[in-house]
Amino acid sequence: MTKQSDHNTINWGILGLGSIAHKFATDLLTAEGANLYAVASRSQDKADEFASKFKADIAYDSYTALVEDDNVDAVYIATPHALHKENTLLCLDHGIAVLCEKPFAMNAEEVEQMIVKAKEKNVLLMEALWTYFLPHYKFVLNSIRNKTYGNIIKLEADFGFFRAFNNDARLFNKTLGGGSLLDIGIYPIFTALSTLGLPKQMEATASYFENGADASCDMVFKYDDATAYLKSTLLKDTPTEAIFYCEHGTIKINTMFHMPTTVSIITEGKEEVLEDFEYKTIGYNYEVIHFNDLLRAGKTESDVMTFDFSRQLIKTLDDVRKIIKLNY
């Protein structure tokens, strides 16, 4: 049975206290009815520092200690990709709802184990792909689904930034799921799947760092009446835009398309920039609000970030890895 608070406030825990956990915690504090109750790191000093910064009630030096705290209603998992399955199963086994940072896990087999466990325990589980819940992206999705500018003919989506190679950094650690595809390539792929669905055919090429982690990946997804050109790279800064070329106009999600940004509508050679999406946060609060609503309603699966969509996403990532011969 899904654990719920006795009152309207949901007590959150966070496992893994890296940079994304800091961003998540910042926005969690803005969500009505959400309390950052507990945080856990393998370092007590790190946990104490994080708890002090974000005013968490308790800081633990182990993940097990946190999930054994009966006051925890929900956990956000912000550990490296390779630990997502293990950490999720730990929480689910203790009846705690889980919001797990993307990618859900390392491969489709791991994701399926997580979903099976959630269903077995009747506990809420959701992949934290925050873009799906952002107002500007929801606006674009509605425009596409309503065929406001006709059908999509072509999609171009890229995500790239330069980082000097560091064999000791998580981002480049292949065993932890580092590299461009799982870290940032997931966003262009998500954009294609959420607007065009699963492709009929896929092509992909990649370049690699000396340790075998992928440095860049270029993908072409082919549909019956559309083609998606997708790219991820850690070798250079790219526009990081998503551009939908439709029959009667172009919808462009401007730079850093995956996070709060603006949208341009281009018709008959004229561009209108839509800016008023009322963003006042980093953007993580939108998925928190959705998750809290699900938990309060006793739901065990999101109607937006569904299990089937997470399955499609990880299967597509697996298929791309197979094409580029990237094995973990």
pLDDT single digits (tens) 270-291: 999 999 999 999 999 999 999 9
pLDDT in tens, 306-315: 999 999 999 9
Query: Number of structural domains, the chain?
Result: 2
Q: Is residue 36 domain-shared with residue 118, that is, in the same domain?
A: yes
Residue 328, pLDDT score: 83
Q: CA-CA distance, 38 to 74, in Å (whole number)?
A: 10
Specify if 286 maps to a domain: no
**Mean pLDDT, range 41-65, rounded to an integer:** 98
Mean pLDDT (the chain, rounded):
96
Q: Is residue 51 domain-shared with residue 163, that is, in the same domain?
A: no
pLDDT in tens, 294-303: 999 999 999 9
Is the CA virtual torsion 235, 240, 244, 245 positive or negative?
negative
pLDDT in tens, 245-268: 999 999 999 999 999 999 999 999
Residue 5, pLDDT score: 43
What CATH number has the domain bearing residue 115? 3.40.50.720
pLDDT in tens, 217-249: 999 999 999 999 999 999 999 999 999 999 999
**Residue 58: φ, ψ to 5°:** -135, 140
> Coil, strand, or helix at residue 327?
coil
pTM above 0.85, yes or no: yes
**Residue 121: φ, ψ to 5°:** -90, -10
Alpha helix locations (H) across the chain?
A: 19-28, 44-54, 63-67, 84-93, 108-121, 135-145, 180, 186-196, 285-296, 307-324
* Residue 24 reports pLDDT greater than 90: yes
Residue 8, pLDDT score: 86
Residue 200, pLDDT score: 98
Confidence band, pLDDT 50/70/90 cuts, at residue 7: low
Specify if 160 maps to a domain: yes
Q: Which long-range contacts (CB under 8 A, 24 or more apart) does 174-179 make?
A: 174/211, 174/212, 174/213, 174/328, 175/82, 175/328, 176/80, 176/81, 176/82, 176/83, 177/80, 177/81, 177/82, 177/103, 177/106, 177/328, 178/81, 178/213, 179/209, 179/213, 179/214, 179/215, 179/234, 179/326
**Mean pLDDT, range 158-186, rounded to an integer:** 96
Q: Is residue 170 domain-shared with residue 205, that is, in the same domain?
A: yes
